[in-house]
Amino acid sequence: MRLVLLGLPGAGKGTQGELIAEKYGIPHISSGSLIREAVASGTDLGKEVDSYIRRGELIPDTLAIEMISERLSRPDCAQGWILDGFPRTVLQAIALDQRLAEIDLDVQMAFDIRITPGEAIERIAKRRMCSKCGAVYHLEHYRSQAMDVCDNCGEQLYRRSDDTEETARTRLVVYMKQTHPVLHYYSRDGRLYSIDGQRPIAEVFADVDYYLQRLANSERAGEAK
């Protein structure tokens, strides 16, 4: 399966990406996580992009495309992948399609996980992340058992540097201007699937999974590449 997850900041791309990865055994690749790892480890890429993330702006297309191309070339991607946060501009979507076409592949489904801007701000303000395993929590809906400690690995939880309300508002504006056109890009040829993201996590996943089971069945029947 080759999937793309789209949606406003806080829509649940990371949350759903993890569930899909767990069920279908393919890697969940979050461009935002890759960038945050690069920043944390102080690589040249990390130093270059840190200020973009803090402002809530997109990093340059060339850097994002290079980073994802390198990730997709690794052996664990041979059976498919879930891209979360990439493509974020039409230029990135075209670059991805071109790269895949060279090896006779394509993006099979792009999911638009839909929530309101108000819900996005609320979720971002209350999100907490594990600094070690990347698990995602919410201060009200999905709390860790012990305050500020990860249930999976016991590590301290933290708040992302771009999860302030002011930066979250910038991210919403950037999404509408630069990423929203990507929805049209995938809808033109029937690859876009719209999901109501404003429901409990399990219900959102059930909708996504309905389409994935159809895709898995067609792959088994040899209809999909």
Residues that bind ligand AP5 (CB under 6 A): 7, 9-15, 30-32, 35, 52-53, 56-59, 64, 85-86, 88, 92, 123-124, 127, 136-138, 141-142, 162, 171, 197, 200-201, 204
Selected catalytic residue, list 2, 36, 88, 128: 88
Question: 34, 140 in Cβ contact below 8 A?
Answer: no
Q: Is 88 annotated as catalytic? A: yes
Q: Is 123 annotated as catalytic? A: no
DSSP string, 105-159: ----EEEEEE--HHHHHHHHHTEEEETTT--EEESSSS--SSTTB-TTT-PBEE-
Q: In the bound complex, what is the minimum distance in angstroms from residue 50's beta carbon to Mg ion?
A: 17
Question: 76, 173 in Cβ contact below 8 A?
Answer: no
- Interatomic CA distance for residues 134 and 131, integer angstroms: 6
Q: In the bound complex, what is the minimum distance in angstroms from residue 218's beta carbon to ligand AP5?
A: 27
- Interatomic CA distance for residues 157 and 149, integer angstroms: 5
Phi, psi (degrees; rounded to nearest 5) at 142: -135, 75
Q: Which does 209 bind (CB under 5 to 8 A by kind): Mg ion, ligand AP5, none?
A: none
Selected catalytic residue, list 71, 160, 191, 199: 160
Q: Which does 134 bind (CB under 5 to 8 A by kind): Mg ion, ligand AP5, none?
A: none
Among 7, 10, 12, 14, binds Mg ion (CB under 5 A): 14
Q: In the bound complex, what is the minimum distance in angstroms from residue 224's beta carbon to ligand AP5?
A: 25
- Interatomic CA distance for residues 4 and 1, integer angstroms: 10
Residues making up the chain, counted from first to last: 225
Question: 123, 138 in Cβ contact below 8 A?
Answer: yes
State which residue, 195 or 215, has the beta carbon closest to ligand AP5: 195
Q: Is 114 annotated as catalytic? A: no
State which residue, 96 or 129, has the beta carbon closest to Mg ion: 129
Residue of closest CB approach to ligand AP5: 32
Q: Exposed e or buried b for every residue in 140-152, given b needs 16+ CB within 10 A?
A: eebebeeeeebee
Q: In the bound complex, what is the minimum distance in angstroms from residue 26's beta carbon to Mg ion?
A: 17
State which residue, 116 or 218, has the beta carbon closest to ligand AP5: 116
**Site residues (CB under 5 A) for Mg ion?**
14
